[in-house]
Homo-oligomer: A and B are copies of this chain.
Amino acid sequence: MDKFTIKDIAKLGEVSTATVSNFLNGNYTKMSVATRDKLAGIINKTDYHPSTTARNLAKNENKTIGVSVADITNPFTSPVISGLSERCEAYGYKMIFTNSNNDEQREIENINRLREEEVAGFIIDPVNPDSSIYNQLSNAYTVIVDRQARRSVVDTVVTDNMNSVATMVRKMVAKGYDDLYFVSWPLDGVSTRLNRYAGFKLATKYLNDDHLITVPYNTSLSQGSSFDATLDHILANKGDKRVGFFAMNSRTLLQLLKAAQRLNYQYAEDFGVATYEEFEWMQLMNPGISCVRQDSFAIGCAAMDRLKEKLTTAFDNEPAPEVQLIPTELVYRDSF
């Protein structure tokens, strides 16, 4: 690679480095068009590129933002990154990327590395949004995506879990489903689950948790499981009621559908169903599954927009954290 510095091209142009610097920064008013053209020519010829490192040091600024994602493998993550990178580019920021692989410790290391890098801001898809590490990050230059802390300490952008579910479930109610159940992993204080369930209760107006069915996280159920039993119980005794299920995400939907298959119930006929999240394979199902389609790309965009906004305003003191809700798209098919 060329080892041209600003000095070299100053020498070639027979001007001072200051003039070259001005040229590089577009301060054309400070030089004759003659030297301006000359410089332009030289720089073109030599394929000279100023060192961003030196520039950053001199200006004491760093147009890069650090991003830490909980799990790059999660299909939710890619579109978020896509949105981020689009906006980064638009705003002239580079993004340095780290993956925590769902490991809190690693996330902490990543964040620290990013701090040493002196990034201008942070975008974080947190492993655990309630972790105390986020307290060390000022809300003046960080935003969190996807998961929401119980008590947010920094700006957060998430999908509108509650209202999406409420809308979908209301649709079920309107269609005459009068015995509805929310199928979920244990709530465990996880914001996404809690908010989706809140939407369910909002729509159904159930006052207690009798209609919450919990399936274990990350274990595959089989015949005779207690889940199968409750499912069978509900469906066998439904009488005139129309029963419907809302699955909190695609994995719980899968559990539900497989159990129903084992018990020989058919959806749309024996029960209605809808789910959060959409995946390719749902298109293959017949009838099609109604679902809540999350706009992860928009989350990425919104997060970066917010960050950019914060980065370009001078705060007297740290702004109060806000949470921004990104709307979803409801896809109605024939599963209820």
Binding site for B on A (CB under 8 A): 1, 49-54, 56-57, 62, 64, 72-73, 75, 77-79, 81-82, 85-86, 89, 94-99, 101, 112-113, 115-118, 138, 250-251, 254, 257-258, 261, 279-281, 283-286
Contact = CB atoms under 8 A, between A and B. Distances in A.
Contacts of A64: 96
Contact of A280 (B86, B96, B281): B281
A97 B96 CA distance: 6
Contacts of A81: 72, 97, 99
A312 to B, nearest CB: 17
A113 B78 CA distance: 22
Contact of A79 (B73, B97, B250): B73
A99 B82 contact: yes
Given A52-B117, A72-B85, 11 more contacts: A1-B138, A53-B56, A53-B57, A73-B82, A75-B75, A82-B99, A85-B97, A89-B98, A96-B97, A257-B284, A279-B281
Given A50-B116, A96-B64, A116-B50, A280 B283 contact: no
Nearest to A49: B116
Contacts of A250: 280
A257 B284 CA distance: 8
Contacts of A254: 280, 283-284
A293 to B, nearest CB: 15
Contacts of A50: 116
Contacts of A54: 57
Contacts of A95: 96-98
Contacts of A261: 284, 286
9 contacts: A1-B115, A51-B57, A53-B53, A57-B57, A64-B96, A72-B85, A73-B82, A85-B99, A258-B283
A37 to B, nearest CB: 22
A123 B326 CA distance: 33
A118 B50 CA distance: 9
Contact of A62 (B49, B53, B101, B279): B53
A288 to B, nearest CB: 11
Contacts of A75: 75, 78
A286 B264 CA distance: 12
Given A97-B95, A97-B96, A118 B85 contact: no
A258 B281 CA distance: 10
Contacts of A116: 49-52
